[in-house]
Amino acid sequence: MSIEEVKYIEEVKNEMKLPGKVRIFDTTLRDGEQTPGVALTVDEKIGIAKKLDQLGVNIIEAGFPASSPGEKDAVKSIASLSLNANICGLARVLKKDLDEALACDVDYIHTFIGTSPIHRKYKLKMDKEEILQKAIFAVEYARDHGVKVEFSAEDATRTEFDYLLKIYKAVEDAGAHIINVPDTVGVMIPRAMEHLIRKLNENLKVPLSVHCHDDFGLAVANSLAAVEAGATQVHVTVNGLGERAGNAALEEVVMALIIHYGIPVDIETKKLVDISEFVSKITGVKMPPNKAIIGENAFAHEAGIHVHGVKEKAETYEPIKPEMVGHKRRIVLGKHTGTKAIKSKLEEYGIEMGDEQLRILYEQVKELGDKGKRVTDADLKAMAITILGRAPEEIVKLEGIAVMTGESVMPTATVKLRIKDKVKTAAKTGVGPVDAAINAIHSLVSETADIELEEYNIEAITGGTNALAEVFVVMSDKEGNKATGRSTREDIVMASVEAVLNAINKILTLK
């Protein structure tokens, strides 16, 4: 998508203070691991760190070394990998924390302390001056040890502006390389975030960064608003993992920066889906199918008018090419599906159908969709093959069937068939409802042809109790004629009956 096509964005970009480039600070291994229920081993952290480095993130916050021996080992192991990204360790404004981070041989330390009234009073129980002095000490101490230093005023967005600016100016003078503005509990709105970052930018010389939480679903929007005001770094996590509702999602921030703002980042976007799936598997946190950029449905189309538009020109219903993020376009079949979507799928399989066959398939797809069933690619393929395999003439046609089965009842099937111009009915028992139905059919057609069942196979195409069942049979007669029959239905008995009748009709047409 060319940004020039969205004139409204172009009209407002002139009012923004956009930076020439934005650095991506990834905290999946630190804040992302704080997702409830997520705990990563050292090897898992190393695996994610390598993926992040291949992706191109600028800083990897590898963990909080002072929090546990295992965390320290993980950070130290990642720092020893000689990755391209800066490896960062988190530390409170305490000498002990800073020493633990420095002992990991990181080249970047992110130090923080709460500054809001609620943090000062209830968590820290410190006054403003004490917090100020501790912030200065931490920055100077880390700076003196030769590492890059980023300072965060935790809960910055609920901190009085005059005090927040005083803290930031003090750490700037102490040598902080970058200042981070955390929206710790996600309380900001985009316009307020833009206003705050603009005011800070007017009073500070060092680059500004933001760390937004998604408590109100605004983490990405607030992060982008900060960039509009001149922030040059954004904290993100893969898949938006993090405390409570999570952090700004890496994949969404990156693609918005590139597409909407035209701001370069060092991310290899084609690897976004790959790292998303990798992190999802390791953490056990599955992404909703409608998740932007990386979700299963991000480039999926069902509605007939959408499919038609996409087939003619992808941009009609896709703002970016799926390949740009390592995704693939999917045509999904259901009750909103049109014939063009079905034709498109059949072309993928190399299956050609006549108009009447296509009409039958279309009606079957619609019927399943109306029942609330999603028609998978495997379902469609099986249904199409079944239709293509039907006998050219229905000499024997099913008029009706009823089955009775249960723990204390002998499985019985009553079958009504139209054989040529005569209607016949028979009831037979069997070891199960399918066997009973086939026995009844055999008894009815025996006068017309002596046909036996040689082979019977059944397979559930997809999972679930409402999965389509595909039945395949081989029938033969005493003259040596053989024919296969196939049917795909939700009802196993009906699928079996249709497959058997299909094979019988093929044999009868040979006579």
Q: pLDDT tens for the chain, 511 residues: list them.
A: 455 567 888 889 988 999 999 999 999 999 999 999 999 999 999 999 999 999 999 999 999 999 999 999 999 999 999 999 999 999 999 999 999 999 999 999 999 999 999 999 999 999 999 999 999 999 999 999 999 999 999 999 999 999 999 999 999 999 999 999 999 999 999 999 999 999 999 999 999 999 999 999 999 999 999 999 999 999 999 999 999 999 999 999 999 999 999 999 999 999 999 999 999 999 999 999 899 999 887 776 555 455 545 555 656 667 788 899 998 876 666 666 767 778 877 887 788 888 888 888 888 777 776 766 666 666 677 678 777 767 667 889 999 999 998 888 899 999 999 998 899 999 999 999 999 999 999 999 988 888 889 889 888 776 666 778 888 888 888 887 787 888 888 889 999 998 899 888 888 876 6
Residue after which a domain boundary falls, among 226, 256, 283: 283
Q: Are residues 185 and 271 in the same domain?
A: yes
pLDDT of residue 325: 94
Q: Are residues 464 and 361 in the same domain?
A: no
pLDDT of residue 302: 55
* Range of the structural domain that residue 337 is part of: 300-388
pLDDT of residue 373: 64
Q: Are residues 89 and 147 in the same domain?
A: yes
Q: Are residues 358 and 406 in the same domain?
A: no
Q: Are residues 122 and 224 in the same domain?
A: yes
Could you tell me how far CA 486 lies from the centroid of its own chain?
Answer: 35
Question: Which residues neighbour 303 within 8 Å (Cβ) at sequence distance 6 or greater?
Answer: 336, 337, 338
Domain count, the chain: 3
pLDDT of residue 234: 98
Q: Are residues 122 and 218 in the same domain?
A: yes
Q: Are residues 410 and 472 in the same domain?
A: yes
Q: Are residues 489 and 416 in the same domain?
A: yes
pLDDT of residue 490: 82
Nearest Cα neighbor of 452 from 431, 481, 488, 426 is: 481
Nearest Cα neighbor of 398 from 491, 470, 511, 466 is: 491
What does the longest C-alpha to C-alpha distance in the chain come to? 103
CATH value at residue 427: 3.30.160.270
- Is residue 105 in a domain? yes
Residue after which a domain boundary falls, among 354, 371, 388: 388
Sign of the four-CA dihedral 280, 285, 288, 292:
negative
Q: Are residues 218 and 112 in the same domain?
A: yes
Residue after which a domain boundary falls, among 252, 283, 314: 283
Q: Are residues 376 and 402 in the same domain?
A: no
Q: Are residues 153 and 256 in the same domain?
A: yes
CA dist 284 and 453 (Å) reads 47
- Is residue 62 in a domain? yes
- Is residue 293 in a domain? no
pLDDT of residue 391: 65
- Is residue 289 in a domain? no
- Is residue 290 in a domain? no
- Is residue 294 in a domain? no
pLDDT of residue 4: 54
pLDDT of residue 469: 82
Beta bridge partners of 330: 300
Q: Are residues 416 and 308 in the same domain?
A: no
Strand order in the sheet with 451-460: 451-460, 469-477, 482-489
- Is residue 295 in a domain? no
